[in-house]
Chain A
Amino acid sequence: MTELNPYRPEMATVIEIVEETHNIRTLRVLLNDPEKMKAFSFQPGQVGQLSVFGYGESTFVINSPPTRRDYLQFSIMQAGEVAGRLHQLNVGDQIGVRAPLGNYFPYENMKGRDILFVGGGIAMAPLRTLLLFMLDNRKDYGDITLIYGARTPNDFCYTYEFDDWKKAGASLILTVDNEAPDWPHRVGVVPKVLAEEAPNPKNRIAVTCGPPIMIKFALAALKQLGYADEQIYTTLEKRMKCGIGICGRCNIGEKYVCIDGPVFSCAQLSAMLPEL
């Protein structure tokens, strides 16, 4: 009897590593089974559980878009035991992957709309998958603007891609928390820059992701600008183990971030118990 065991990871090989910042690195991985790699299908926003055998599993978003299938990309901030171990891997090392898990950004409903991305720090990862997916389907979407903030100029991920994003039709507004030497872009926390930029909510969808404190104030700023709850999407994170709605720990009331999320609209969030 062979049946699908949702706890059994697929073996994968790290094929490339990008050191993004002093504490964030990106792993590009391939499933070892070429057939499974070829058949692997996912949606923007879905996550994977990465295993370092002997240390455990941890959840990361697949931040490469489904439109680019050369490898699966995960960006990892050094925090916790598994992430720490992922930071020690070399090209050629073996990890386990259980993916795709969770829901995804409802990009079908976003077609024909202007899109505003609001991201902070490592949380650019889930936005990157949707941003690239939209840039690869550029004609389906209107204006695409990204407000992306980090603590310092050295804390941005994917800086080597910024020019490509712009060429593909995205407007980038970069900001750092405090003044920094030779920093040519904006200064101030993301919600403040968002309020200054004041993108018109008409026919626009806002997708925001960041540390909880940023999300809190970004949501407030968006509402101030007139965005309705249904126009705002965010992703949540919780400590997870199984990732498949069984082990119980990532619940907010009766919702489980692992299977009912990680993507939620602000309207969904408002209907949930306040336990973020």
Chain B
Amino acid sequence: MSGKIFVAHDALSGLLDDLSKKFKVWIPQMMDQASGHIAFGVYAPGKKPELTRRSRLSPKKILFPSMDTLFKFTYVKDPKDPVRYTIDLKESFDNGPTLVFGARPCDTRGFQTFDQVFLKGQYKDVYYERRRQNTLFATLVCQDSDTACFCSSVGSGPADMTGSDMAVIPIEGGYVIEGLTDAGRKLVETSGSAPSPEQAAAAEQMKRNTAALKIGEDDLTGYADDLTRRFTDMDFWREQVSPCITCGVCTWVCPTCYCFSITDEASGMSGERMRSWDSCMFYLYTLEARGHNPRPTKMERYRNRVGHKFSYFPKKYDGMVSCCGCGRCIRTCPVSIDIRKVVKELKETADDRA
């Protein structure tokens, strides 16, 4: 069968070495041994991908850097009339061929949210688009769920290859890598040798078994109208969010949280217009110049976070929730707010009262 290769554990470095000649290859790697902090970093010979433990941070920054230069500007004085000037403006794009190796299905699927907003709306985000077009995803069939994982609750699952160009399937002794898109197949075919029939069968079995797993108990789609009904019930929101310290880490670690700010950074006669990750959990996010704030407390702000993912987004995009079920917000929340519980209770308590 074409479009598949087998890579033994001890041959993985060699494969990544080869790939990194053609691509900027990002792999999950150990950033801090003491705290077990795994995040995506650029592969260089000698670096080892962490493929058996989940990463604390998703690969979001690869297509959507936490700080990104939109353009640089320079005030250029007119030599003949020094009170006059022009502004020289240079856009910068950073979009070489890129490969994300070893992201989980939830990580890769997070970009589906970005695609809707950044590519399919009235205006196209050219910065994201260029990176997206130049990036391939080799996504790991996931064997490492914990109790915070809930990908199956949001219409996905641990073997969901939506948005992936290649599947990386762990089997005895190594990985079967399967091309899923034209670009993925082309890359796979030139990157190694085909698996043996036994290896191919083991990979198929592994995919089937993983696809059958249900990660997360409840279906968390279909809550759009429940949020609308619950919108003005401030007792509900107070109860859900009272421990929140509005630190914003839930949005920072979220693979689908895409909201950003745009600011200028300048020094002397030149500077940059940057975009940077922002968070709807922050007071300043919606604070208007004349002092009015439509979301003055954490209740309105958390309501927006849950609402955006489970109500507004599905209403706008054909039922699709903008949550990939990775569980990072649950794992990292310093006060243990569990978004699954909040979403479920949108409905449950509404029914109780009805």
Residues of A within 8 A of B (CB): 3-9, 11, 51, 53-58, 77, 79-80, 83, 92, 94, 96, 212, 237-239, 241-242, 244-249, 251-254, 259, 273-276
Contacts and interface: CB of A to CB of B under 8 A. Distances in A.
B289 interface: yes
Interface of A is mostly: loop
B232 A274 contact: yes
A53 B87 contact: yes
Given A56-B264, A254-B316, A274-B231, A248 B280 contact: yes
Interface in B275-333: 275, 278, 280, 285-290, 292, 294-295, 300, 304, 307-308, 311-313, 315-316
Interface string B104-130: 000000000000011001111111000
A241 B231 contact: no
Interface of B: 70-71, 73, 75, 83-87, 89, 91, 117-118, 121-127, 228, 231-232, 258-264, 266, 271, 273, 275, 278, 280, 285-290, 292, 294-295, 300, 304, 307-308, 311-313, 315-316
B7 to A, nearest CB: 35
A8 B91 CA distance: 8
Contacts of A8: 70-71, 89, 91
Contact of A254 (B83, B261, B286, B313): B313
A247 B262 contact: yes
B32 to A, nearest CB: 31
Given A5-B126, A251-B312, A11 B292 contact: no
Contacts of A244: 121-123
A247 B71 contact: no
Given A83-B289, A238-B288, A251 B304 contact: yes
Contacts of B91: 5, 8
Given A8-B89, A251-B304, A275-B294, A55 B286 contact: no
Contacts of A251: 304, 308, 312
Given A246-B123, A247-B275, 9 more contacts: A6-B125, A7-B127, A7-B273, A80-B289, A94-B85, A241-B262, A251-B308, A253-B307, A276-B294
Contacts of B228: 253, 273
28 contacts: A3-B126, A4-B124, A4-B126, A5-B91, A6-B126, A7-B70, A8-B70, A11-B89, A51-B273, A53-B73, A53-B273, A55-B264, A56-B264, A80-B289, A80-B290, A94-B87, A96-B89, A238-B294, A242-B260, A245-B123, A246-B121, A247-B278, A249-B286, A253-B228, A254-B313, A259-B123, A273-B231, A275-B231
A6 B124 CA distance: 7
B278 A249 contact: yes
Contacts of B262: 7, 56-57, 241-242, 247
A96 B88 CA distance: 11
A11 B87 contact: yes
Contacts of A80: 289-290
A237 B288 contact: yes
Nearest to A241: B262
A254 B86 contact: no
A5 B278 CA distance: 21
The 5 lowest CB-CB distance pairs between A and B, nearest first, are: A80-B289, A248-B259, A54-B266, A254-B312, A244-B123
Contacts of A5: 91, 126
A246 B300 contact: no
